[in-house]
Amino acid sequence: MMRVRARRKPMSEINMVPFIDIMMVMLVAFMVAAPMMSQGIKVQLPKTDSAPMEVPKGKEPLIVSVKADGSYYLNLESTGKKALSLKVISERVAKIKRARPDTLVLIEGDERVSYGKVVAAMASLQDAGVSDVGLMTDPRELN
């Protein structure tokens, strides 16, 4: 006797469970990695009582960092974490400011760096056509 095989109907719906599982794993991975993606150089900022500045969403400022040893850095992915000369920094900032004139430019000077190094960075940025430069600080701790 011959066995009759029942024909299977093609499945008309997509199984979403594996897709949702993968999305949840990716979400957790991004949530863990996001805080670690802060670009820039670690510096110890001076403390002040000033109010925090509001940075518009989607308008990441350019940050020129001055480390305690007097070396300069720019917070661009292309520069990485290597020290740059003020000439190179001012050229790159000028190019970005020409493309996006509303870009904020901030100087993040370590509290142990000499005043002259921060002033030299400000003068170099001014020569590059940046008229407004902000100085970054940390809030002062109350006793």
The pTM (predicted TM-score) of the whole model is 0.60
Burial of 30-55, coded b for 16+ CB within 10 Å and e otherwise, reads eeeeeeeeeeebebeeeeeeeeeeee
Q: Which of 127, 130, 128, 106 has its CA nearest to residue 118?
A: 106
pLDDT tens, position by position, 18-71: 999 999 999 999 998 887 766 566 666 666 666 666 666 777 888 888 888 989
Please return the burial class of 122, using the count of CB atoms within 10 Å of its CB with bins 0-12, 13-18 and 19+: middle
Residue pair 68/110 in contact (Cβ under 8 Å)? The answer is: yes
Domains defined for the chain, CATH in brackets: 47-139 (3.30.420.270)
CA–CA distance, 48 with 68 (Å, rounded to integer): 18
